[in-house]
Amino acid sequence: MRETVYVLGGGQTRFGELWGKSLSDLIREAVDSAITNTKILPTDIDMVIVGNMVGGETAEQAHLGTFASSLLPHHPPALRVEAACASGGLAVHTACAFLESGKAETILVIGAEKLTDVAGDIVTSALMHAGDSEKDLPSGLTFPSIFALTATAYMHRYGLKREDLSLVSACSHRAAVKNPYAQFRKEIPAATISKSPLVADPLRLLDCSPISDGAAAIILSMRKESPVHIAASQLANESLSLIDRESLTSFVSTRTAFQSALKEANWNRNDIDCIELHDCFSIASLLHLEDFGFAEEGQAIRLFRDGDTDASGSLPVNPSGGLKACGHPIGATGVKQILDCWKQLTSQAPNQVVNATHAMAHNLGGVGATCTVHLLESI
Amino acid sequence: MRETVYVLGGGQTRFGELWGKSLSDLIREAVDSAITNTKILPTDIDMVIVGNMVGGETAEQAHLGTFASSLLPHHPPALRVEAACASGGLAVHTACAFLESGKAETILVIGAEKLTDVAGDIVTSALMHAGDSEKDLPSGLTFPSIFALTATAYMHRYGLKREDLSLVSACSHRAAVKNPYAQFRKEIPAATISKSPLVADPLRLLDCSPISDGAAAIILSMRKESPVHIAASQLANESLSLIDRESLTSFVSTRTAFQSALKEANWNRNDIDCIELHDCFSIASLLHLEDFGFAEEGQAIRLFRDGDTDASGSLPVNPSGGLKACGHPIGATGVKQILDCWKQLTSQAPNQVVNATHAMAHNLGGVGATCTVHLLESI
């Protein structure tokens, strides 16, 4: 980072099937909560950035930057950014650029999505617009089936068993019990996950992050009014379609963003005390941990088997409950991850990692086509 | 601008009802054209920013930053931005922030929209997502009817006649005859415009910019490889809904962005040699010219009546043909405006303004809820 960007804090709605709340309601609630929690004057916000993917298709509302700016008395400059499920992380990354450019001093970053007001087939179609409309969509692929392809390739190559995959989701569900904002706050044994309904072989219902509504908001500022700052903000890409990839079991975007982030922050991998990563499907967590280099290829499952990934383990992964158990309101996820990292670094997390000073948020768009990595540090 | 951003040039597709071309085709064509025209090495592009509003709803394709990045051999970091019809200007503004932040040195900025592959009612609904889904949409308002409200208020307040409005569209159509990229290249007399079918009283068909497909791409760089640089890049907002406004005949966002831009560039209003402004409806041009201060309230029509706004006049407005005659493929418009300004400043415009060294691009989202103003200068 050319300049130091501080995370002043934020707030979020509960994630879930929030049938009584519109997209506008969710944004209002998250913004109110962020302003209340950080005690910032609304007029000190000089820019608004919203991460959202399908507001037009599922909530009849595009132009969401301006919608959110309209909630503030002085209507500061505003924009919406989108990179599918990485829209939230992208909003944070874009905010860092605006802050570093000198165009803004304090930015309200919002991630929001409302998915449950329309039928499941409409949501599934809209989310598939994250893939390549010419290469992927005509084949009938959906995101569960795309990640099922990666899972099949991984299991074939490394001999992973169906029962192993369930350990990943079980870890997230175990963590979410304590998180009041999580969609599912119930421990689910691995055996139950393995027997849940088949979605796209080998992925079962409880391998998949759910369809969720929710919003999260954070305040980023050049003002040194927080012990937490962003040590690195990286965005990396790969081909949009899986068809053009060399590997089905590794995402170049994750590798690039992570290595660039370590370099930017001048950290090494082992400095990281806790990780919020993009577990949209159970298989994804294994791919990411190997792309980060925390495990050899085909070996990441050992981290779950040995309890390393629990909040009390040696490499806490998704102590919030992750996408799997917190829910995954697309554009909200990446912003909520930063909020969860901030909570860890200010000792306010529901599953507090002891003495956490270095945290990472990893957000993915499409099947690894876009990736953001943020490293946060407390002083 | 904290740093100097150069416009290296660019390219565009023809705007129009391009039934044989998909959104992907349009983006490919604009990108190829920009790379060919500027003679840049594709691998010198270290970021891609796409302005697009309704790709998901009308072309089954979101995640367009990454789509465009996938066209380049090295898949540079990419994002999509959206602020309704100001998405293109917003993409340029966001690119300036990334360049000034030091996160990129050379950015490919693309604006693109594909509207004619779906039925008119679907396009109209999708575009209405630029308004407020809770305050505007339930009333049955569409954008023609919203701008009709401003026209009615203006005519009532200032005594403007229906026949006067037609002079605005006639000016754009006169200019577009020479522009090979324009959707309509035919001079249309004011009397014909006044008799065209009624859309939303008092606005008639030929007061309205059309539904168009198209894409434009430009290359912005910190490298001093062009005589043209961006002297100011401003983004300003106002309440999303017209309901919350004090005035129906003036947009605070335009006033704020324009005044801030003059200050940033250290220009005065009369330095400007030519303007590409957001004439989504004929009435809009009058509002903008008054918000810029080129005419007193209620007097802007005189500029059209006296021929001042022609390319050979004292205040050339939309010498390209503007949205009205070039077409208005939503996300593409703001990028194409910058390209047209660059053409003026490098003496390559179809209606060349003699000795133009200072040009302005003004792009609007919603009913003036978002506004970008860019000032370009040649040395």
Residue burial B32-60, b: 16+ Cβ < 10 Å; e: rest:
ebbbebbebeeebbbbbbbbbbbbbbbbb
Mean pLDDT of A70-82: 98
User: Cβ contacts (< 8 Å) between B237 and chain A: which residues?
Assistant: 65-66, 69-70, 75-78
Amino acid at B281: F
d(CA A243, CA A366): 13
pLDDT of residue A72: 98
Q: Is B351 helix (H, G, I), strand (E, B) or coil?
A: coil
Report the residue from B24, B54, B63 with minimal CB separation from A84: B63
In the stretch 42-101 of chain B, residues with CB closer than 8 A to chain A read 53-57, 59-67, 69-70, 75-84, 90, 93-94, 96-101
pLDDT digits (tens, 9 = 90+) for A244-257: 999 999 999 999 99
Q: Is A198 helix (H, G, I), strand (E, B) or coil?
A: strand
The answer to whether position B296 is within a domain reads no
Q: Which residue of A has its CA nearest to B23?
A: A133
Q: Which residue of B has its CA nearest to A74?
A: B238
Distance from the Cα of A104 to chain B's closest Cα (Å) equals 10
Report which secondary-structure segment, H or E, holds A8.
strand A5-12
Residue burial B161-188, b: 16+ Cβ < 10 Å; e: rest:
eeebbbbbbbbbbbbbebbebbbbbeeb
The answer to whether position A364 is within a domain reads no
The answer to whether position B346 is within a domain reads no
d(CA B186, CA B261): 34
Contact B55 A129 (CB under 8 A): yes
Please identify which residue in the block is written with the tokens 């959707």: B183
Indicate the Cα dihedral angle A227, A232, A238, A242, nearest 10°. Answer: -30
**What is the pLDDT confidence band of residue B364, given thresholds at 50, 70 and 90?**
very high
Contact A103 B83 (CB under 8 A): no
Residue B5's nearest CA partner among A101, A317, A364, A157 is: A101
Residues 6+ apart with CB under 8 A from B246: none
The answer to whether B135 and B46 are in contact (CB under 8 A) is no
* Residues of B annotated as catalytic (active site), given as ranges: 85, 328
Residue A53's nearest CA partner among B185, B283, B61, B342 is: B61
Contact A83 B84 (CB under 8 A): no
Contact B67 A24 (CB under 8 A): no
| Helix A282-292 and helix A252-265, axial crossing angle in degrees, nearest 10 | 50
Q: How many domains does chain B have?
A: 1
pLDDT digits (tens, 9 = 90+) for A166-191: 999 999 999 999 999 999 999 999 99
CATH number of the domain encompassing residue B35: 3.40.47.10
Contact B235 A55 (CB under 8 A): no
Sign of CA dihedral B322, B325, B331, B337: negative
Contact A90 B83 (CB under 8 A): no
The answer to whether position B288 is within a domain reads no
Mean pLDDT of A24-36: 98
Return phi, psi of residue A88, to 5°: -70, -50
Residue B293's nearest CA partner among B344, B254, B343 is: B254
Measure CA of the first residue to CA of the last residue in chain A; give whole Å: 16
pLDDT digits (tens, 9 = 90+) for B263-273: 999 999 999 99
Q: Which residue of B has its CA nearest to A100?
A: B101
Contact B77 A53 (CB under 8 A): no
Contact A79 B82 (CB under 8 A): yes
pLDDT of residue B353: 98
Distance from the Cα of B153 to chain A's closest Cα (Å) equals 23
Contact A130 B370 (CB under 8 A): no
Look up residue A139 and give its DSSP letter: G
Confirm or reject contact between A238 and chain B (CB < 8 A): yes
Report the residue from A81, A125, A252 with minimal CB separation from B81: A81
Residue A94's nearest CA partner among B347, B95, B225 is: B95
* Residue A144: cis peptide before it, omega within 30 degrees of 0: no
Please identify which residue in the block is written with the tokens 């802007």: B300
d(CA A12, CA A35): 11
d(CA A304, CA A302): 5
In the structure encoding, which two tokens stand for residue B261, read together? Answer: 């831009």
In the structure encoding, which two tokens stand for residue A324, read together? Answer: 């799997």
Largest CA distance in chain B: 58
Number of neighbouring beta carbons within 10 Å of residue A212? 24
Strands (E), chain B: 5-12, 47-51, 78-82, 106-113, 198-200, 203-204, 214-221, 228-237, 274-276, 358-365, 370-378
The answer to whether position A189 is within a domain reads no
Chain centre to alpha carbon of residue A80 = 17
pLDDT digits (tens, 9 = 90+) for B186-234: 999 999 999 999 999 999 999 999 999 999 999 999 999 999 999 999 9
Q: Which of B61, B63, B80 to mutate to test the interface with A (most CBs of A within 10 A)?
A: B63
**What is the pLDDT confidence band of residue A2, given thresholds at 50, 70 and 90?**
confident
The percentage of chain A sitting over the pLDDT mark of 90, rounded to a whole number, equals: 99
In the stretch 3-22 of chain B, residues with CB closer than 8 A to chain A read 22
Average pLDDT of chain A is 97
Report which secondary-structure segment, H or E, holds A106.
strand A106-113
The answer to whether A344 and B38 are in contact (CB under 8 A) is no
Q: Is B333 exposed, middle or buried (0-12, 13-18, 19+ CB in 10 A)?
A: buried
The answer to whether position A47 is within a domain reads yes
pLDDT of residue A1: 82
The percentage of chain B sitting over the pLDDT mark of 90, rounded to a whole number, equals: 99
Largest CA distance in chain A: 58
Residue B133's nearest CA partner among A75, A76, A67 is: A67
Phi-psi region of B191 (alpha: psi -120 to 50; beta: other; left: phi over 0): alpha
User: Cβ contacts (< 8 Å) between A101 and chain B: which residues?
Assistant: 2, 96-101
* Residue A202: cis peptide before it, omega within 30 degrees of 0: yes
Which value, in Å, is the radius of gyration of the alpha carbons in chain B?
Answer: 19
Q: Is A40 helix (H, G, I), strand (E, B) or coil?
A: coil
The answer to whether B373 and B130 are in contact (CB under 8 A) is no
pLDDT of residue B1: 82
Q: What share of chain A is helix, strand, coil (3-state, %, to 5)?
A: 40, 20, 40
Residue B287's nearest CA partner among B205, B231, B371 is: B371
Domain holding A74, by residue range, is 5-119+211-221
Residues 6+ apart with CB under 8 A from A297: A158, A249, A250, A290
Confirm or reject contact between B238 and chain A (CB < 8 A): yes
pLDDT digits (tens, 9 = 90+) for A336-369: 999 999 999 999 999 999 999 999 999 999 999 9
Confirm or reject contact between A227 and chain B (CB < 8 A): no
Report the residue from B57, B97, B236 with minimal CB separation from A57: B57
Report the residue from A60, A69, A241 with minimal CB separation from B137: A60
d(CA B343, CA B319): 11
Distance from the Cα of B48 to chain A's closest Cα (Å) equals 10
**What is the pLDDT confidence band of residue B45, given thresholds at 50, 70 and 90?**
very high
Mean pLDDT of A7-17: 98
In the structure encoding, which two tokens stand for residue A90, read together? Answer: 């992208």
ipTM above 0.90, yes or no: yes
Cα angle for residues B109, B115, B119 (degrees, 5° grid): 165
Average pLDDT of chain B is 97
Cα angle for residues B364, A132, B212 (degrees, 5° grid): 35
Mean pLDDT of B330-358: 98
Long-range Cβ contact pairs of A261-266 (< 8 A, separation 24 or more):
A261/A232, A261/A233, A261/A234, A261/A360, A261/A373, A261/A374, A261/A375, A262/A232, A262/A375, A264/A1, A264/A231, A264/A232, A264/A233, A264/A234, A264/A375, A265/A231, A265/A232, A265/A375, A265/A377
The answer to whether B236 and B371 are in contact (CB under 8 A) is yes
Chain centre to alpha carbon of residue B37 = 21
**What is the pLDDT confidence band of residue B2, given thresholds at 50, 70 and 90?**
confident
The answer to whether position B96 is within a domain reads yes
The answer to whether position B98 is within a domain reads yes
Distance from the Cα of A237 to chain B's closest Cα (Å) equals 5
* A76: pLDDT strictly greater than 90: yes
